[in-house]
Structure 1
Amino acid sequence: MKKKILRSLSCTIAFCAIGTLNGYAQLNKTYLDESQPIEVRIESALSQMTLEEKVALCHAQSKFSSKGVPRLGIPEVWMNDGPFGVRAEVLWDDWAVANVTNDSCTAFPALTCLAASFDPELAAMYGKALGEEARYRNKSVILGPGVNIYRTPFNGRNFEYMGEDPFLAATLVVPYIQSLQQNGVAACVKHYALNNQEVWRDSVNVQISDRALHEIYLPAFKAAVEKGKTWALMGAYNRYKYEFCCHNDILLNKILKLDWKFDGVVVSDWNGTHNTREAALKGLDIEMGTFTDGMSKTEINAYNNYYLASDFLRMLKDGEIDEEVVNDKARRILRLIFRTVMNTKRPFGSFASPEHFAISRHIAESGIVLLKNQNNLLPLDFAKIKTIAVIGENADRIHSNAGGASKLKAKYEITPLQALTKRWGDKVKITYTRGYGSYTPTFEGVIPSPYNADSLKNEALKVAANADVVLFFGGLNKNRHQDNEGFDRQSYDLPYGQPELLIELAKINKNIVFIIASGTATALPFEKDIPTIVQGWYGGSEAGNAIVSVLSGEVNPSGKLPFSYPKKLEDCGAHAFGEIAYPGIKNDQKYMEDILVGYRWLDTKKIKPLYAFGYGMSYTTFKYRKATTDRKEYTVADTATLTFTLTNTGEREGAEIAQVYISQPKASVMRPVKELKGFTKVKLQAGETKTVKIQLPVKEWAFYSETSQSWVVEPGEFVISLGASSDDIKHKCVVTIK
């Protein structure tokens, strides 16, 4: 009897096992066949998923991952911060660093530095290298690049973005995305949209005209979708028309998914989701970082408490929400998975390689802007220099390890002092003194500097008095209320007593080079007293070497400012209308300057900036000649060709960024005095002349009509202006649009 029972049990188990195997064999595995069109694979997988599995795709399972479908062999999605480097690994349910030993990355320059290069080829190199690092770390999505418009110098995240001009940002973001995604890693362009300040970022409601929205704040996102074909996009914290941007019917459903035909995934910013029904129906696909996670709740499966989790599932089961809603989200997420982690043909990537550090250095060198060079103090002449005083905390400070979501665990970051010592230490006497000491604001108050300000100043004056040249490394840092996520600046002035110190230094030594580390403009009240000023940005792993290359003349600076440098804060359009325009009143804010952002405001109001958008000097000089257009009349379907000659009239090779602006003096609506619509970077040997052509599609000269809700190019005369910056126009051509 016992043997019969065991035999019967064995047969039952075997029968069940065979049944299970047969059931598995009956699965439609078309979704695994990479020879099939991706849309066929998506429908194959979707048809075999349960409702619970579809919902599980739509919310996080850890700080940086969301679920796949294990039963079908569909892997999870792993994301990571990465506007200029792949962030260190963190714990599953905690922001604490995981302390693994294989995540020390290449730190690339901040995106303001890339923007200052005005170089799409460099943007492609940047994206490719970053994508390789993300792929090596097995990331499906890299959270970047950021393309929010620089509206105010107070924005704490300006350094993460590409400047004040929508055409510049749109031009650079496309090759960045395309090259990054060649690695089988999705770019997640952020923060869509109108996230142009950090103060009240999670609640402020932005009131803005349709023209300003479409002409200034959306073009870079539109280019990322329509031309760059980005696979993911991150919603913003703030509100537009009183709806949070992470579930905003106009921004996500109408503009992004309907008008632009975006087929990728909308990811919420962390803690950017607020309501189940709105998240479900108003465009969000993956909910990340909501407060009900494992860090704040100790219950099992706390991520199931997200809005697009158990409550979403309940609404679907009860018929409150149609199942096609979750099907659309699942299709998008499956499309992302098939493009990335389930793409067996994607390359393997590489990480913290010599090639990546070389690219990082090249971008940093190309973005450095020479703002002032009185008496040609730069490049430094070592035949005449015996002693150098290096002053300023930023000479010996690491910047890549702070700033918020862009914080990196870099394999190394060369400081200016390290580079100076290595490059010149055996040729000249280099003496370093701090000069000023920063302090760190905290939620509880302020952690004061451990240094005595008077002692630091006196020592700096003493060192400067005995030096042939003073190199002052100042600017901002990534402390709170400087260049830092979550906090806007509170003053346009340089912090930590730098202006007063620089004025004192100028009295005792006229040979001062001021090198600014920042991602934004600052007040420079001492500008007339300082002969040489360099905008050095945050240069990543090779920051110090890049700066030294420019100071020594090994690299001729060619960067141009991607934003204007107003003389005073009130000259900035966002600060010309009081609190209602910035930061807002009671969480309501009106963009009173409308389409007149940056140089558009300064030009129209006839306010002279300290340094204009597109401005930057070289160690050589350039001459523009013979600017002509191929025709005098065009239609909207045409592309105008501007031809001119550019000559290097100096004694060394260099590169010039020629810029083309358009204007329509007589229009039915207000139009800016000029708008950037083309640029090119021209490299020339000493004495060399090149004929340069810039293509200008006429359809891009349009304004957004609030009456017809469409783009309009009005017939009439247009002025095409060729210049070295927005306020240095060399030639003008007048053409007619029929």
Structure 2
Amino acid sequence: MKKQLLSGVCIFLFISTLQAHCERTPIYLDETQPIEQRIEDALSRMTLEEKIAMIHAQAKFSSPGVARLGIPEIWCTDGPHGIRPEVLWDEWEQAKWTNDSCTAFPALTCLAATWDPQISLLYGKSIGEEARYRNKSILLGPGVNIYRTPLNGRNFEYMGEDPYLASKMVVPYIQGVQSNGVAACVKHYALNNNEKNRHTTNVIVDDRALHEIYLPAFKAAVQEGNVWSIMGSYNLYKNQHCCHNQYLLNDILKKEWGFDGVVISDWGGVHDTDQAITNGLDLEFGSWTNGLTNGTSNAYNNYYMADPYLKRIKLEQVGTKELDDKIRRILRLIFRTTMNRNRPYGSFATPEHFMAARSIGEQGIVLLQNKNNVLPINIAKTKKIAVIGENAIKMMTVGGGSSSLKALHEISPLEGIKSRLKNKVEIVYARGYVGDSSNEYNGVITRQNLKDNRSAKELIDEAIKISQDADYVIFIGGLNKSAGQDCEDADRKGIELPYNQDKVIEALSTVNKNVIVVNISGNAIAMPWVKKVPAIIQAWFLGSEAGNALASILVGDVNPSGKLPFTFPAKLEHVGAHKLNSYPGVKRENSSIIDERYNESIYVGYRWMEKEHIKPLFAFGHGLSYTTFKYGKPSISTTQMTTSDTLTITIPITNIGKREGAEVVQLYIADKKSSLPRPIKELKGFQKVQLAPGETQYVSFIVDQNSLSYFNDTLHKWIAEAGEFEAIIGSSSEEIKARINFELK
């Protein structure tokens, strides 16, 4: 009896203790509870000082949680092409870890050139796994700023000139990243279209261009991709810096689009405490004392949203309504990432990731020109190949700004070609030109010694000598990721090739008829020698597997299928921003601010070229194949539709060549008559189809009201006007294969 009584008492005490413990367990720790309820519970337990601490950095890439409540820190990492090596807590110097060498994925211009949302999903999933493995909360990417000028040093990080293409490619990237419990951070919101004077440029742009050209990819990221964070840009718009901009952040992003995530400042992008409080910024990051200027180390309490904000609250100059909204958003991000127990574990620098990087590179490489079918290289009939150019050996994963990486390996183009043709073809190499011989960026050392003191004549003479009797000459040049080329914080001075490369190519073309020019860049270049060489390849910055990806295209292991995500102009003055003297803006009198008027309005890229009847060097959407595709006669489900209807356009595509290949079928829409001026045509659909020799597939496009609409700046809404439209189907914006008319009632 005593034993039973004792047992009953023990059970009662155990149950009572358990109930008391459960009652004390915070709801925010219980993942079975709705996330909004968890947010409110955590918010109610935080002190004012804890809230202020959470909305600004505590280290170069970290902001604090609340240790007392078990709320973890936020850790960011630079993207969008790979996971940045670790730096010291409060310095940019490398932390010198031995296990942070990552997979370098191709630059986003290459991803956009695949025109394949499934490849974008693979990219996002793979890089998200690497970020998760390193326990990062936020991946600072992708970038979707529009390619407005080929001088922009950061174009290589973005997805081209067309808002529809960028919108369709950014969404799966975000979904892939966030499937790993890591927040994507779409940047740079908004109008950050050149690096020159990026901190002081005030963009003046009409509302139509803003909504039709520069905002759609961000809108898609929010409303279709459900992105968890967005980074404000350095520049100004409406005379307010974009990191605390009432119109962009509050009116459009949060109210109009319904964004429920975190707005993060670019590093040093905050300039004013009062605007940071009220104008939509949630989390302040920076580099120095106040996020802007050199100063005392470890002085994060001096940030605009740190002690200055706390002081205003304590003096009752401002309330806590905005602060609580910022904390809710930050907590929501934490619950979605670090405090999500179902988060996968991720993986890092795996064979699967290197294969993904290679596949992305292979599908993004663009065959621009192939006269006389010089490519692919006929290995059986080839004895000697001369490879010329510094970019054949120079590492491209190091440099370029915040996207610089410490890659586990990087296969150079020369290494890739030698590996693929080993014991089959003699490969000889000559430098041809000397560009940048530096071997370090932000503490990452390439261990390459590229110093060469020979004269330009000596270098060209050597290249000519080894090329004269070669079966093929592969010139591998272009830009690099040094300041003033494809690099953050500076723009190019022109679109000409640097380092005397044009003369090298001209000289090679006089001694060998089979010169293949491989341009490595994230930007368009001028090609004064375009008619003198039979083959040209746009190879981008391809990351860890660069050489292997390029070699597979050169020898035909992979049939090229990439298409240009931006126009190659023949001359800089063929670009609207330069023809109209808009770039880089005009400095205000007695001020550091530079006003840059986007005088070309909605006419960016191919839209401008077609309006002005300018023939591009290579058109938007252009890209050749080693096979041939035949476009059949399109059919349409109805020739009349209303704004509540859709119609379907179908066209047969047949591979009439002898090789398997992929074609990107592009749909453009032309409004034959509208109240406001519109481009001659605009991209409104695309599909990439893989076809075996002789195979036919039917490609269908659905046209709805959104496909026909333009932004009416007077009404501040999208309008689809009744009238006649034309569906235009092509293999590029220039190569039109079929047209079909319909009417909107």
Give the distance between the partners of 2:53 and 2:587, measured in 1 at CA: 39
Q: Does 2:608 correspond to 1:606?
A: no
2:734 maps to 1:727 = yes
Overall identity of the aligned pairs, in %:
55
| CA 122–158 in structure 1, closer or farther in 2 if over 3 Å, else same | same
Q: Runs of 5+ in structure 1 lacking a partner?
A: 1-21
SS of 1:383 mapped into structure 2: helix
Question: What amino acid is the match of 1:87?
Answer: R
1:234-283 Cα shifts (integer Å, max 9, x gaps): 00000001100000000000000000010000000000000110001000
Partner of 1:581: 583
> CA 1:25/1:303 → structure 2, altered by over 3 Å: closer, same or farther?
farther
The SS at the match of 1:142 is strand
Q: Is contact 1:581–1:592 with CA below 8 Å preserved after alignment?
A: no
What corresponds to 1:460 in structure 2? 463
Aligned residue identity for 2:227: T
Kindly indicate whether the alpha-carbon contact (under 8 Å) linking 1:267 and 1:286 is maintained by their aligned counterparts in 2: yes
Match of 2:550 in 1: 547
> What's the counterpart of residue 634 of structure 2?
627
Q: Secondary structure at the match of 1:355?
A: helix
**1:151 to 2:152 alignment:** no
Q: Report 1:561-576 matches (<5 A).
A: 561-576=564-579
**CA positional deviation for 1:582:** 2.9
Could you tell me which residue of structure 2 aligns to residue 354 of structure 1?
351
Residue of structure 1 in register with 2:14 after alignment = none
Question: How far apart in 2 are the matches of 1:684 and 1:421?
Answer: 30
| Cross-structure match for 1:638 | 645
Partner of 1:538: 541
Which residue of structure 1 aligns with residue 664 of structure 2?
A: 657
Helix, strand or coil: the match of 1:313? helix
TM-superposition CA deviations, 1:692-732 (whole Å, max 9, x none) = 21222222321110110111001101111000000111111
- 1:675 and 2:689 are equivalent in the alignment: no
Q: Which of 91, 95, 103 is equivalent to 2:92?
A: 95
Alignment of 1:37-48 (within 5 A): 37-48=34-45
Report deviation, 1:508. Answer: 0.8
| Matching residue's letter, 1:498 | Q
Contact 1:57 1:330 in 2 (8 A): yes
Hey, what's the Cα distance between the residues in 2 that align with 1:405 and 1:338? 27
Q: 1:141 — aligned with what?
A: 138
Partner of 2:498: 495
Residues in 2 aligned to 1:707 and 1:195: alpha-carbon distance in whole angstroms: 25
Q: 1:312 aligns with which of 296, 309, 312?
A: 309
1:611 is paired with a residue whose SS is: coil
Contact 2:76/2:138 (<8 A) preserved = yes
Q: Does the CA contact (< 8 Å) of 2:60 and 2:91 recur in 1? A: yes
Matching residue of 2:478:
475
8 A contact 1:271–1:288 mirrored in 2: yes
Provide TM-score, normalisation by structure 1.
0.95
* Counterparts of 1:637 and 1:319, CA distance in 2: 52
Whole-angstrom CA distance in 1 between matches of 2:27 and 2:336: 15
Q: Is the 8 A contact 2:288 2:299 kept in 1?
A: no
3-state SS in 2 of match to 1:721: strand
Match of 1:113 among 91, 110, 114: 110
Aligned-pair CA distance for 1:450: 3.7
| RMSD after superposition | 1.8
In the alignment, the residues of structure 2 paired with residue 681 and residue 567 of structure 1 have an alpha-carbon distance, to the nearest angstrom, of 28
Partner of 2:416: 419
Deviation of 1:290 (Å): 5.0
Which of the numbers 493, 512, 516 marks the counterpart of 1:513?
516
Q: Please list the CA deviations of residues 89-114 of structure 1 after superposition, one character each: whole Å capped at 9, or x if unmatched.
A: 01111111111011000000000000
Where does 1:6-405 land on structure 2 (aligned, <5 Å)? 29-292=26-289, 296-298=294-296, 302-405=299-402
Which of 403, 428, 448 is the aligned partner of 2:425?
428
CA distance in 2, matches of 1:229, 1:575: 36
Whole-angstrom distance in 2 between the partners of 1:323 and 1:552: 64
Is 1:472–1:513's contact at 8 Å kept on the other side of the alignment?
Answer: yes
TM-score (norm 2): 0.94
Structure 1 counterpart of 2:675, one-letter code: S
Alpha-carbon offset, residue 681 of structure 1: 0.3
Using the alignment, how far apart are the partners of 1:107 and 1:553 within structure 2? Answer: 24
How far, CA to CA, are the matches of 2:709 and 2:584 in structure 1?
28
- 1:47 is aligned with what amino acid? S
SS in 1 for 2:368: strand
Residue 4 of structure 2 aligns with which residue? Answer: none
Q: Distance in 2 between matches of 1:278 and 1:353?
A: 44
Secondary structure of 2:349's match? coil
Distance verdict in 2 for CA 1:246–1:439, change over 3 Å: same
The secondary structure found in structure 2 opposite 1:613 is coil
Q: 1:9 corresponds to which residue? A: none
Label 1:449 to 1:496 Cα distance change in 2 as closer, same or farther (>3 A): farther
Contact 1:290 1:306 survives alignment (8 Å)? no
Q: What residue in structure 2 maps to residue 15 of structure 1?
A: none
Task: Supply the distance in 1 between the matched residues of 2:289 and 2:640 (Cα, whole angstroms).
Answer: 61
Q: Deviations over 1:570-621 (max 9, x none)?
A: 001111112x433444411100110000000001111000110000000000
Q: Shift of the alpha carbon at 1:230?
A: 0.3
Distance apart, 1:296 and its partner CA: 4.1
Supply the distance in 2 between the matched residues of 1:521 and 1:533 (Cα, whole angstroms). 13
Aligned residues of 1:204 and 1:584 also touching (Cα < 8 A): no
Contact 1:718/1:737 (<8 A) preserved:
yes
SS at match of 2:203: strand
SS of the aligned residue for 1:529 comes to coil
Q: CA deviation at 1:625?
A: 0.6
Determine which of 606, 615, 622 is the counterpart of 2:622: 615
In the alignment, structure 2 segments of 5+ residues that lack a partner are: 1-18, 441-449, 589-593
| Equivalent position of 1:718 in the other structure | 725
How big is the shift at 1:24? 10
Q: Residues 245 and 440 from structure 1, CA distance in 2 versus in 1: closer, same or farther, beyond 3 angstroms? A: farther
Which of 700, 705, 714 is matched with 2:712 structurally?
705
1:680 maps to a residue whose letter is: Q
Alignment length (residue pairs): 712
Classify the secondary structure of the residue corresponding to 1:563: coil
The 3-state SS of whatever aligns with 1:646 is strand
Q: Distance in 2 between matches of 1:188 and 1:288?
A: 13
Q: CA deviation at 1:23?
A: 12
Cα pair 1:272 1:290 within 8 Å, conserved? no
Give the C-alpha shift of residue 691 in structure 1. Answer: 1.5
What is the alpha-carbon distance in structure 2 between the residues aligned to residue 507 and residue 687 of structure 1?
A: 39
Query: What is the alpha-carbon distance in structure 2 between the residues aligned to residue 248 and residue 141 of structure 1?
Result: 22
Q: Deviations over 1:30-57 (max 9, x none)?
A: 0000000000000000001111111111
Structure 1 residues 118-162: Cα deviation after superposition (integer angstroms, max 9, x where no partner): 000000000000100000000000000000000000000000000
